[in-house]
Chains A and B, each alone.
Chain A
Amino acid sequence: MAIFEKKAEKNHSLAHTAESIKEKFFSGKKAGASTLLRKITPYAMVRPALSIFMVFMIFSAIYMLYISFFDWNMIKDMKFVGLDNYIKMFTDPDFLLVMSNTFQYMFMMVPMSMILSLAIAMYLRKNTFINRLLQNVMFLPTIVSLVSISFVWIWIMDSDKGLLNYLLSFFGVEAINWLGDPQFAMFSVVLVNVWKSLGYYVLIFVAALQGIPSYLYEAAALDKAKPMTVFFKITLPMLSPTLFFLTLTSTIGSFKTFESISLMTNGGPMESTNTLVFELYRQGFVFYNTGYAAAMGVFLMALIGLMTFLYFKVLQKKVHYQ
């Protein structure tokens, strides 16, 4: 028996040595070619993705900056005009109106969606069947095309036959021309966008709320802390990374809003919903002021860059991380 075992062991170790020799032999022989291959491989792998980023993001951004110094309509020869497009932009009252509209949109959209979604998330934070069901229903608009959403809301907000005015009439509210009245149009567009994005924000907030360790609340309960104190001293600080992320997302989202305006109001009535990206689109693709549109694009880039920078600055100082 013992001899048998020993033999088997010997056999095994022999096989093992043979294996390792073979391995060394082969890898040694191929070393030159394979290390070179191994060096090139990662570059070949990142290449497709990087070339697309290079052309459609990096080069595009630089190219836009270049175009912005020219008078051009995509067909005739480019004429260098220096900073004229930028001077025109900042002195044109139409553009100032566009900027004021954009900020009006942002100052309605960001607080409304943040406060409402946080409140609803607090309300739905417990993981029960009804809460999950509500969350699912609220989430549906997030995955539905803005085209469908805009069309159904155009119909609901119709001034004569719309459902909204009909329902409001029970509360004694007189018919409102939601999308046709310059006073209401921007608010209506914001309302639809809040409605669309609320479910997404609630989803993120609920996940963050459920991630707050329960011992913090237990400790607060032991100290008989008031609900308000608990909210401001525990919940809000623990939520701050999420809150900041979503605020940044919705702020940048406000600057780039296009679809709902293009579909619901087309910038009107009386230019009251004409915001930055929509104006950029019109100047570039309807009026063919390509150089001028490019200058707006550069301005938008600066605006988004500045926002991101500011947020990260504040983020570093104010936000509580665990």
Chain B
Amino acid sequence: MANILRKSSRGVINIILFLIFFIPFYWMALTSIKSIGQVMQFPPAFFVSKPRFENFITAFESIEFLHYLKNSVVVTVCVMAAQLLTVVPAAYAFARFDFKGKGAMFGMVLATTMIPAQMIFLPVFVILSKAHLINTYWSLILPQATSAFGIFMLRQSFMQVPKELIEAARLDKAGEMKIMFKIMLPMSKSTVSTLALLNFIGTWNDYFWAKVLTTTDAVKTLPVGITSLSNVDGGIAQHIVMAGNVLMLLPILIAFVLAQKQILKAFSYTGVK
């Protein structure tokens, strides 16, 4: 008897927990296919019999969606590429070379994790505007072009690669570049994909840098661009706003469905610093 009671109360809690986290997403998706009449209706409808997929087209046309999308893709790809090019060599040097000042330099890298973007965006803006880089892609790429967390994680992983392998490669006259990208990187595949996932999610979702470092529409990314949807029709067009958000969410959702396990693993890495 007590067992049944316990099991059913667990069931109730499970359902409540599930609903708390599921309903907002359901509500977003549902609203995105409602008509304006259904949006204004109260009490709200929980189902829609005639979904209005035109909302997505309206959202697409109300703002320069393709322009923002292009910017988002360019910035995300460039940031990922830049991080690959800066993080890999640095991690390799910190893991496998002895050089003067190594300790101090690595200490500096770790210290920068204590400096969040929200603290230094003002001087960063001033520096970039003095370099005439505001409203160019550079302004969004450069401040994020490297990652202390990435260097730290990859260094750990590079230290696991057997020394003999590197020595052997050097005897074969392989250049350091080749060693890095042909030996070290493939050996650390799981760390690299973890970092790439975290990086993709972070950059794609990033609102902060794109908000503070752009003053025109030129390089605005989707998260900032999409906010102007809330002005459509004087701010009552919730179905259009939600349609835009569903579109922005799709790549992340697809990534989550495909690589759920890896994403969870990636985020649990960030908790064991």
8 Å CB contacts to A: which residues of B28-77?
28, 31, 39-44
Name the one of A42, A60, A246 contacting B127, with C-beta atoms under 8 angstroms. A60
A285 within 8 A of B: yes
Name the one of A42, A60, A144 contacting B97, with C-beta atoms under 8 angstroms. A42
Least distance between B114 CB and chain A CB atoms (Å) = 6
Of the four ranges (under 10, 10 to 19, 20 to 34, 35 or more), the interface on chain A belongs to: 35 or more
Decide if A294 touches B267 in the complex (CB within 8 Å).
no
In the assembled complex, the Cα of A137 lies from the Cα of B115 at a distance in Å of 31
Decide if B44 touches A161 in the complex (CB within 8 Å).
yes
Name the one of A148, A160, A163 contacting B245, with C-beta atoms under 8 angstroms. A148
In the assembled complex, the Cα of A229 lies from the Cα of B10 at a distance in Å of 23
Decide if A148 touches B249 in the complex (CB within 8 Å).
yes
Least distance between B229 CB and chain A CB atoms (Å) = 8
Decide if B207 touches A285 in the complex (CB within 8 Å).
no
In the assembled complex, the Cα of A285 lies from the Cα of B112 at a distance in Å of 24
Decide if A308 touches B21 in the complex (CB within 8 Å).
no
B181 within 8 A of A: no
Decide if A155 touches B260 in the complex (CB within 8 Å).
no
8 Å CB contacts to B: which residues of A137-171?
137-149, 151-153, 155-156, 158, 160-161, 163, 166
Decide if B129 touches A74 in the complex (CB within 8 Å).
yes
In the assembled complex, the Cα of A123 lies from the Cα of B11 at a distance in Å of 12
* Chain A residue at smallest Cβ distance from B150: A49
Least distance between B33 CB and chain A CB atoms (Å) = 14
Decide if B241 touches A151 in the complex (CB within 8 Å).
yes
Least distance between B72 CB and chain A CB atoms (Å) = 10
A15 within 8 A of B: no
Least distance between B183 CB and chain A CB atoms (Å) = 15
In the assembled complex, the Cα of A41 lies from the Cα of B223 at a distance in Å of 40
Decide if B24 touches A153 in the complex (CB within 8 Å).
yes
A2-10, A50-58, A215-223: which lies at the interface: A50-58
Chain B residues positioned under 8 Å from A144 (CB to CB): 205, 249, 252
B218 within 8 A of A: no
Least distance between A315 CB and chain B CB atoms (Å) = 13
Known: A138-B21, A151-B245, A263-B227. A280 touches B146 (CB 8 A): no
A92-100, A182-190, A297-305: which lies at the interface: A297-305
Chain A residues positioned under 8 Å from B245 (CB to CB): 147-148, 151-152
Chain B residues positioned under 8 Å from A114 (CB to CB): none
Name the one of A42, A120, A161 contacting B39, with C-beta atoms under 8 angstroms. A161
Name the one of B14, B27, B42, B212 contacting A281, with C-beta atoms under 8 angstroms. B212
8 Å CB contacts to B: which residues of A4-35?
23
Least distance between B17 CB and chain A CB atoms (Å) = 6
Decide if A155 touches B115 in the complex (CB within 8 Å).
no
Chain B residues positioned under 8 Å from A153 (CB to CB): 24
Decide if B42 touches A60 in the complex (CB within 8 Å).
no
B167 within 8 A of A: no
Decide if B122 touches A284 in the complex (CB within 8 Å).
yes
Chain B residues positioned under 8 Å from A152 (CB to CB): 24-25, 27-28, 242, 245
Least distance between B71 CB and chain A CB atoms (Å) = 14
A290 within 8 A of B: yes
In the assembled complex, the Cα of A166 lies from the Cα of B46 at a distance in Å of 12
A81-89, A105-113, A197-205, A230-238: which lies at the interface: A197-205
Mark B residues whose CB is within 8 Å of A: 13-14, 17-18, 20-25, 27-28, 31, 39-44, 85-87, 89-90, 92-94, 97-99, 102, 105, 108-109, 112, 114-116, 118-127, 129, 142-143, 145-146, 148, 151, 171, 176, 201, 204-205, 207-208, 211-212, 223-224, 226-227, 230, 238, 241-242, 245, 248-249, 252, 255-256, 260, 263-264, 267-268, 271, 273
30 contacts between A and B (CB under 8 A): A41-B93, A45-B89, A45-B97, A49-B90, A50-B108, A58-B108, A60-B127, A63-B127, A136-B260, A136-B264, A138-B21, A142-B267, A143-B263, A145-B204, A145-B248, A147-B205, A147-B227, A152-B245, A161-B41, A161-B42, A166-B42, A166-B43, A166-B44, A195-B24, A245-B273, A256-B118, A277-B118, A285-B212, A297-B120, A304-B116
Mark A residues whose CB is within 8 Å of B: 23, 39, 41-46, 48-50, 52-53, 55-61, 63-64, 67, 74, 120, 123, 130, 134-149, 151-153, 155-156, 158, 160-161, 163, 166, 195, 199-200, 203-204, 207, 242, 245-246, 252, 256, 258-259, 262-263, 277, 280-281, 284-285, 290, 293-294, 297, 300-301, 304-305, 308
